[in-house]
Structure 1
Amino acid sequence: MELPFFPADQFGADRSLLLEVIREIGLDAEQRFILGRHTAAFERMLGDSLGVADVVACGSGTSALTMVLRAMEVGAGDEVVVPAFGCAPLAASVLNAGATPVFADILPHTMVVDPAAMAALIGPRTKVLMPAHMFSVLADLPRIEELAARHGVRLLEDSAVAQGAVLRGRPAGTWGDAGVFSFVQVKSFGMPGEGGAVVTGDPALGEAVRLLRNHGQDGVHRFVHHRIGYNSRFDEIQAAFQLRRYAGFPARLARRARIAEYYTERFAGLREAGVLPPPSGRDGRCYYVYCLLCERRDELKEWLAERGIGAHVYYPLPLPRQAAFAAHAMPGQQWPNAEHASARILALPVYPQLSDAEVECIADAVCEFAMRHAALPTP
């Protein structure tokens, strides 16, 4: 049995739909392939589903972060507090804005940023708090929202992996001044290409991002540039494709959640064997991938590979230990929980195309490994 980490045929069920929209837009009399009526409809649909003032579809989740920081006028001399554990754009977008990323440690079990660590790093140069959701758990947004309000700083929510997740009745992406999504193919609402979106309840912020995504043009007067911008425009074929697939998104999310719940139930008794699943429940949970903490992580990954099961390491190093960002980290600062996670995290397949039998096979393999290694000393 071969069970890849991501499905080999990601959009197999949507092949006819994709061919249909390619033909429709390719033959459309308007011959508009970016930022047309389908993009506008896609933005309205997302905005209505989230209950927010504005959604701006753009070229990627990374460019979404970059443009929001720019719209918030983050620049030289400013600091942005980010998690020490996460994806490179958390730090790169801040540095590309000319500002300094300040790395906060994470919580040891959930692996999301520790609000207390964030609070300790807020200073006179802090302009934005930028928490990121991890692969199984949303950041503690109620505490971070209160922290941002108390200190008078902006809150930018990196919800690239968490579209569709909800915490205390509020969707991911809607807690801060702005949130961002990523639609790269393997995400929960991924598509066959690159794309992202900025979500905001602040119309002025949304308008600033809308200018920035198209070279500073307002979409009405071509070749009139109101500010220096970017090329981060959304594709009409992808917009039409996503619009027609959105109705099935809740069912796909529910399937991911059921798989995750099954894993967590099966792994609940493995802590003494060195395997720790994420916290149970659905509130504040997102299952783009499903992440364990394992004391013998590399051995488990190899064990699964021998049985045809794909697994993945997110991330092998904390951000401030990466060569690209180490020089920008605060001298003498330590991130013990991020280091702990980097040495132990392992993600398992959780995509909705998995059958019940395949899910059971993956869980059986993890449990068998844990039981065989339970009596061995921790490496």
Structure 2
Amino acid sequence: MSTATAHDIPFFPPDLFDADLDTLLEVVHATGTGAAQKFILGEHTARLERVLRDRLDAADVVACSSGTSALTLVLAAMDVGPGDEVVVPAFGCAPLAATVIARGATPVFADVDPVTMTMDPDAAEKAVTGRTRALMPAHVFSVMADMPRFGELASLYGLRLVEDSALAQGGTLAGRPAGMWGDAGVYSFVQVKTFGMPGEGGVVVTGDAELAVRARMLRNHGQDGQHRFLHHQVGYNSRFDEVMAAFQLHRWEGFEARLARRAEISAYYSRRFAPLVENGITAPPVGGDGRCHYVYTLLTERREELRSYLAARGVATHVYYPRTLPAQPGFAAHAPAHGRWPGAESAARRNVSLPLYPHLSDAQVEHVADTVCAFAEESAR
């Protein structure tokens, strides 16, 4: 990679869609002036679902209003509700707990591996009780959860397996795409995700055609799509926007190239950072199976010092999930009063993420890596 000078490198880039703005305006105009006047769940949405279904070799893909909504639709399609328990990671995004609680069920928090930050299968197994209905592991940052092991646990205990793959679109493990390991998975299209867009949206992906039928009905107030105002059950307003569907179809052609660039940047970071473990900075491994290059995250006890050092040199960083889920005020009532989740607590205390997006230049990437390495060297003196 080329020699870098100092840069101002944002963590959340403001220009993610600059190259596609003309197309976005054209799509808005075409949808708004089209004879069909179809703004939700039209042919663009159906085509996007088909494109993703064929890519995944899934039974079906159901587009909906967000990744969070996709998890809710999956749980609802499985009839998870009051009296049920769902085992979820103690570290991760709020929807892991919130969607379970919204269904009237109880999230049971299992600890995570302190390095991968994904749910520990052994801890998850210990959390299973006679009330457990499902396991809900989540892929985190750039590493997929141990889905083969969770599949074994689900079979052993007769549980449903919900794969929170919201951030892992494009990742594979043992040749199987993220999202296709459980009864159902989800993707999020929020702008910074690997297939992000300038709006909210997501999909349910599944190999279970019957579950997909139920999710499709639930996303539109319990209607079946054939008979308007015939509500087979209580559903949700979780419909997909036609403008965004058309825009995503436009961007689909470049998806593989953007994934490849993310992987290239991640691999460069990891090669540069591998020796820093001796200085108390742990980086993800170079390449390997089960990687999904959404966010590049380091672990260090000197997080705030590293962030300040990087910021002074023009590199913005971000801390995801600085609290464990059981420690969140909204979820604390659903956790044991004196429970401990040491892996999750370590992850919440130590994680810090670096800029990772496809249009980072080689010079910018090298500047980020140089700055992290310089911090480690100075700290070791």
TM-score range, shorter chain: over 0.9
State which drifts further: 325-334 or 252-261: 325-334
Q: Residues of 2 paired with 1:365 and 1:61: CA distance?
A: 34
**Structure 2, unaligned runs of 5 or more:** 1-6
In the other structure, the counterpart of 1:36 is 42
Q: Residues of 1 paired with 2:326 and 2:100: CA distance?
A: 13
Where do 1:15-54 residues align within 5 Å?
15-54=21-60
In the other structure, the counterpart of 2:16 is 10
Q: Residues of 1 paired with 2:375 and 2:264: CA distance?
A: 23
- Runs of 4+ aligned residues of structure 1 deviating over 4 Å after TM superposition are none
SS of structure 1 residue aligned to 2:125:
helix
SS of structure 1 residue aligned to 2:275:
coil
Is contact 2:274-2:285 (8 Å) kept?
no
Where do 1:338-349 residues align within 5 Å?
338-349=344-355
User: Match for 1:174 among 168, 180, 189?
Assistant: 180
SS of structure 2 residue aligned to 1:262:
helix
TM-score by length of 1: 0.98
User: Match for 2:127 among 121, 127, 131?
Assistant: 121
Where do 1:275-290 residues align within 5 Å?
275-290=281-296
Q: Residues of 2 paired with 1:367 and 1:176: CA distance?
A: 39
Q: Residues of 2 paired with 1:323 and 1:106: CA distance?
A: 20
User: Match for 1:154 among 156, 160, 174?
Assistant: 160
In the other structure, the counterpart of 1:220 is 226
Residue 57 (structure 1) aligned with residue 83 (structure 2): no
**Structure 1, unaligned runs of 5 or more:** none
Q: Residues of 2 paired with 1:315 and 1:262: CA distance?
A: 25
Is contact 1:47-1:53 (8 Å) kept?
yes
In the other structure, the counterpart of 1:329 is 335
SS of structure 2 residue aligned to 1:75:
coil
Q: Give the Å deviation of 1:286.
A: 1.0
In the other structure, the counterpart of 2:195 is 189
Q: Give the Å deviation of 1:7.
A: 1.4
> How many residues of Structure 1 are paired with residues of Structure 2 in the alignment?
375
Residue 66 (structure 1) aligned with residue 98 (structure 2): no
* One-letter amino acid of the counterpart of residue 47, structure 1: R
Q: Residues of 1 paired with 2:215 and 2:316: CA distance?
A: 38
Residue 105 (structure 1) aligned with residue 111 (structure 2): yes
* One-letter amino acid of the counterpart of residue 163, structure 1: Q
The alignment's C-alpha RMSD in Å is 0.8
User: Match for 2:238 among 226, 232, 238?
Assistant: 232
Is contact 1:274-1:374 (8 Å) kept?
no
* One-letter amino acid of the counterpart of residue 49, structure 2: E
Where do 1:280-319 residues align within 5 Å?
280-319=286-325
Q: Give the Å deviation of 1:164.
A: 0.5
SS of structure 1 residue aligned to 2:289:
coil
Q: Give the Å deviation of 1:26.
A: 1.5
* One-letter amino acid of the counterpart of residue 269, structure 1: P
Q: Residues of 1 paired with 2:366 and 2:148: CA distance?
A: 35
CA-to-partner distance for each residue in 1:18-44, whole Å, 9 max, x for gaps?
112112211211000000011000001
Q: Residues of 2 paired with 1:244 and 1:320: CA distance?
A: 40
* One-letter amino acid of the counterpart of residue 5, structure 1: F
Identity %: 64
Where do 1:355-366 residues align within 5 Å?
355-366=361-372
Q: Residues of 1 paired with 2:336 and 2:205: CA distance?
A: 31
CA-to-partner distance for each residue in 1:297-341, whole Å, 9 max, x for gaps?
011111111111110001111100111111111343210011111
TM-score by length of 2: 0.97
In the other structure, the counterpart of 1:257 is 263
Q: Residues of 1 paired with 2:219 and 2:243: CA distance?
A: 18
Q: Give the Å deviation of 1:282.
A: 3.7
SS of structure 2 residue aligned to 1:319:
coil
* One-letter amino acid of the counterpart of residue 225, structure 1: H
* One-letter amino acid of the counterpart of residue 133, structure 2: K
CA-to-partner distance for each residue in 1:192-211, whole Å, 9 max, x for gaps?
10001000111111011111
